[in-house]
Structure 1
Amino acid sequence: MEVQWKTKEQLGEYVMERLNHDPRQMSDKERNRMSERIRAKLKAGKKLSPEEIRFLQQTDPAAYMEYLRIRQMADSLKAQLKSARTKQEVNRIIAAALNSVSDKDPAKEYIIAAMNEVIKEFKATPEYKKLPDTDADLAKKKRKSQPKGTANQEEDFNPMDWSPLQEVIDELPTFDHPA
């Protein structure tokens, strides 16, 4: 029982030490090692651990803000990829995202790496593998899954011929006045 208590006490002390770990109390060598590890993760497009984020926040606020911007761009790409309906659309989203990164952006290397990591993760998912290749394949798939009567009604509908104003005009009363 006493051994368990000592183990729990040591574990508690270790956790508290890690939580209260102040990067300013680190030696220069430890700080440099942590900075190099963070830089390597950013170059690989990986996410930082909470400890690394806290270190970055306390030692280099500008780099922390840059990291947040990189993550926001990568998360935005991830959301767009999840909403894609075809592999062709996925490729368009990827091309647009990669082309949107300015050549003059100082964090371009990190942004591209983060986006490539998101792309690699998304393409490995079963959701991506289930997507039809092209818009034409998607249309075929929809037609096969619809009952016969409904497909014709939707094919006859042309959104360019419809307007909300036309509905209002059609509902207005007409007055026949002899001339």
Structure 2
Amino acid sequence: MNIQFSPNVAQYTLPKSPTKTDEEAPVEKKTVKEVQAEERKKVLQQISEMQEAKKKTGEGNPRAQRILSKFNSGKKLSPEEIQYLMKAAPENVERVIRVSAERQQNEMMMRAARTKTTTRHASMLAINAIRKTAGSGTSGDALTRSNQIQDSVKEYTSTKEYKDKPNDELNIKKKKKSPYNKPLHPQESGLWATANHAYLKAKDLNNPKKSTL
């Protein structure tokens, strides 16, 4: 026994007895059945996670895949089809809404154009924008986006509204007044002005030598 004295009080320190933490814990050996049960549990968990992932993307759901194939080919989806995707393939809904909004903007630009020529320019601007982003992180949607724009052009150019437009600016005065030549909504006018400015700027860059009066 070790005894330590201090000026005021005698302090005793007793030798420590070994504790369980000081001793090495015995290694627990598992039986073959226990190992197999654990492996089976891991496999079942992986299968469950894969099934959940498929549910979110619509993989393995024939109806969801048909709707997505229709959209990827360039066709519009109905509100009912989008609502179904929200339940059957929620991870694809954000992409569908984003690409559909881009198509809607292109349709608005084409309607805002005064002539057939400027209508075609509007769609060309949209296609070029997609090509520029083809190498970015969102390039996986490039084909779908392009298909949507091309379908919107095909759809709009078959309308009476497009057919009633003059071919170019020179023909506007010769063309009889059309019910479609109404004042544009401020937002539509601003978008078209921006698109037209970008087109004219690109045109000037491609033709540096211009005849001057």
User: Does TM, normalized by the shorter one, top 0.5?
Assistant: yes
1:48 maps onto 2:82 in alignment: no
Q: TM-score normalized by structure 1? A: 0.57
Query: Could you tell me how far 1:59 is from its partner in structure 2?
Result: 3.6
Aligned to 2:146: 112
Query: Could you tell me how far 1:137 is from its partner in structure 2?
Result: 1.5
Gaps spanning 5+ residues in structure 2: where?
1-54, 177-213
Aligned to 1:88: 117
Query: Could you tell me how far 1:67 is from its partner in structure 2?
Result: 0.2
Aligned to 1:123: 157
Q: TM-score normalized by structure 2? A: 0.49
Query: Could you tell me how far 1:46 is from its partner in structure 2?
Result: 1.4
Matches within 5 A, 1:99-178: 99-101=128-130, 102-104=133-135, 105-141=139-175
CA distance in 1 between partners of 2:59 and 2:112 (Å)? 43
Give % identity: 29
1:79 maps onto 2:108 in alignment: yes
Distance verdict in 2 for CA 1:54–1:132, change over 3 Å: same
How many residue pairs match? The answer is 115
Gaps spanning 5+ residues in structure 1: where?
1-25, 143-179
Query: Could you tell me how far 1:48 is from its partner in structure 2?
Result: 2.0
Residue type of the partner of 1:103? A
Would the aligned equivalents of 2:127 and 2:146 in 1 still touch at CA under 8 Å? yes
Would the aligned equivalents of 2:116 and 2:168 in 1 still touch at CA under 8 Å? yes
CA distance in 2 between partners of 1:40 and 1:89 (Å)? 31
Identify the structure with the greater helix proportion.
1
CA distance in 1 between partners of 2:155 and 2:143 (Å)? 18
Over alpha carbons, which structure has the higher Rg?
2
Residue type of the partner of 1:113? N
* CA RMSD across the alignment: 2.4
Question: Mean alpha-carbon deviation: is it higher for 95-104 or for 43-52?
Answer: 43-52
Would the aligned equivalents of 2:74 and 2:151 in 1 still touch at CA under 8 Å? yes
Structure scoring higher RCO (CA < 8 A, sep ≥ 6) equals: 1
CA distance in 1 between partners of 2:82 and 2:175 (Å)? 45
Residue type of the partner of 1:89? T
Aligned to 1:9: none
CA distance in 1 between partners of 2:111 and 2:81 (Å)? 28
